[in-house]
Amino acid sequence: MQNSKTPAAGITSAPFGNLPDGTPVAIYTLKNSNGVEARVCTYGGILVSLLAPDRNGNLGDIVLGYDHLRGYLEKNPYFGALVGRCANRIAGGRFTLEDKTYSLAINNGPNSLHGGLKGFDKVIWQPTLAHVATGPALELFYLSKAGEEGYPGNLEVKTTYSLADDNSLRVDFEASTDQPTIVNLTQHSYFNLACQGDILGHQMQIEADRFTPVDSNLIPTGELRPVRGTPFDFHQATTIGARIDQDEEQIKLGHGYDHNFIVNHPMGRLDRIACASEPGSGRILEVFSDLPGVQFYTGNFLNGTITGKAGTAYHPRCAFCLEPQFFPDSPHHPNFPSIVLKPGQTYRHSVIYKLSTK
| Catalytic residue positions, numbered | 188, 323
Interaction between residue 316 and ligand GLA (CB under 6 A)? no
Of residues 228-287, those binding ligand GLA (CB under 6 A): 258
185 contact partners, CB below 8 Å, separation of at least 6: 82, 83, 84, 85, 87, 120, 157, 159, 173, 175, 325, 347, 349
Nearest to ligand GLA of 89, 283 (CB atom) = 89
Interaction between residue 162 and ligand GLA (CB under 6 A)? no
Considering only the stretches 117-125, 294-302, 307-315, 340-348, report the one whose residues sit in contact with ligand GLA under the rule CB under 6 A. 294-302
Which is it for the CA torsion 210, 215, 216, 217, positive or negative?
negative
Nearest to ligand GLA of 48, 51 (CB atom) = 48
Interaction between residue 297 and ligand GLA (CB under 6 A)? yes
Total site size for ligand GLA, rule CB under 6 A: 11
Q: How far is the CB of 260 from ligand GLA (least distance, A)?
A: 8
Considering only the stretches 2-10, 135-143, 244-252, 295-303, report the one whose residues sit in contact with ligand GLA under the rule CB under 6 A. 295-303
Interaction between residue 37 and ligand GLA (CB under 6 A)? no
Do residues 135 and 161 lie in contact, with contact meaning Cβ atoms separated by under 8 Å? no
Of residues 102-121, those binding ligand GLA (CB under 6 A): 113
Interaction between residue 321 and ligand GLA (CB under 6 A)? yes
Nearest to ligand GLA of 88, 250 (CB atom) = 88
DSSP assignment string, 190-233: -B-TTSSS-STTSEEEE-EEEEE-B-TTS-B-S--EE-TTSTT-
Q: What angle do CA 125, 131, 132 make, to 5 degrees?
A: 100
Nearest to ligand GLA of 332, 342 (CB atom) = 332
CA distance 216 to 175: 32
CA distance 136 to 346: 23
| Phi, psi of 241, deg, nearest 5 | -75, -10
CA distance 209 to 325: 16
Nearest to ligand GLA of 31, 114 (CB atom) = 114
